[in-house]
Amino acid sequence: MKKETKKDKEIKRWHQIVFYVLADKKQDLHGIAKLDSPVHLLIADELFKSIIHDHDLRLWRFHRMFIVYKKGFPGVEDSNQFKFKFFSTKEIYDEIKSKVKLYLDKNPILWDVLLDVKCFSCLEDNDIMDDHDDDWPLLIKKTWPHYICGISKMWLEMISEAKKDVYWKTYPEDLELFDRINYYEMVGAEMKRKWTSWANHAVFHHANLLFGGHPVNVAWFRKKVRLKKYKDMAKSKLIGGEVIF
């Protein structure tokens, strides 16, 4: 095995921690099996907020997705995923993995709503544009990570602010798991009310003004490209996955 050098330790890559949340709607009694799952808010607020602060991460983002796999995707079940992606050295990556494991060890009841937790590390070095969709132009690839980091920070801070408007009988950390989930369901509902009412002006309007206020093509979904992407994912499960829990 090649010995790790000082230069190797300083190399930054994209890494991600992926929580696979309950996705079976037939068994779901707490509104977990959906894209807007309160479990995502719980994990972001209880775990990743402190990690971002403690490690002074400069480039990171959250990603939420719910994929319903149909015929042609062997071996892959419906997947409700909450991802935390960050650009860091391997040393920081290893420290964050340890903190995630410690959090799960202290909260074993979370496995009542989790299917799996995996870690991934990008093979490319020192390039922030590695976190992108392959069909994007180079100009977008190189600059988009800064945008999504900003909007992710806004989302995380909105959780903290929305908690101030949600009354609960005790501190969330003192509640049982499903009471905590119900609490974050209320927090998410408060965020949804503000977002759906004001995002058009506060986010989309002002972002587009920076680019000159031009009409924007919002038909983003490219069926053929994404269909191939998901078929490849189905064949190999999740590429590069490191199961550590």
Average pLDDT over residues 69-78: 53
Question: Tokens in use for 30?
Answer: 């707490």
CA dihedral 159, 162, 168, 173 (to 10 degrees): 20
For residue 244, being part of any structural domain is answered with no
pLDDT band at 80 (very low <50, low <70, confident <90, very high): confident
Question: In whole angstroms, how far apart are CA 155 and each of 40, 70, 86, 182, 210?
Answer: 11, 31, 16, 19, 21
Residue 80: CATH number of its domain:
3.30.70.60
Question: In whole angstroms, how far apart are CA 223 and each of 135, 136, 219?
Answer: 12, 15, 11
pLDDT band at 66 (very low <50, low <70, confident <90, very high): confident
Question: Tokens in use for 99?
Answer: 């903190």
pLDDT at 7: 60
For residue 245, being part of any structural domain is answered with no
Residue 241's DSSP bridge partners are none
Question: Would you say residue 205 has pLDDT above 70?
Answer: yes
Yes or no: say if 62 and 83 are a contact pair by the CB < 8 Å rule.
yes
Range of the domain at 64: 6-235
Sheet containing strand 60-67, edge to edge, reads 60-67, 79-89, 12-21, 114-121
What is the domain count for the chain? 1
For residue 241, being part of any structural domain is answered with no
Question: Tokens in use for 102?
Answer: 């410690």
pTM (2 d.p.): 0.82
For residue 129, being part of any structural domain is answered with yes
Question: Tokens in use for 217?
Answer: 């093509």
For residue 109, being part of any structural domain is answered with yes
Range scoring the smallest mean pLDDT among 35-44, 91-100, 194-203, 210-219: 210-219
Rg for the chain, CA atoms, rounded: 19
Q: How far apart are CA 198 and CA 192, in angstroms?
A: 10
Q: How far apart are CA 37 and CA 22, in angstroms?
A: 10
Q: How far apart are CA 186 and CA 22, in angstroms?
A: 19
Q: C-alpha angle with apex 21: 96 to 72, nearest 5 degrees? A: 115
For residue 97, being part of any structural domain is answered with yes
Yes or no: say if 177 and 112 are a contact pair by the CB < 8 Å rule.
yes
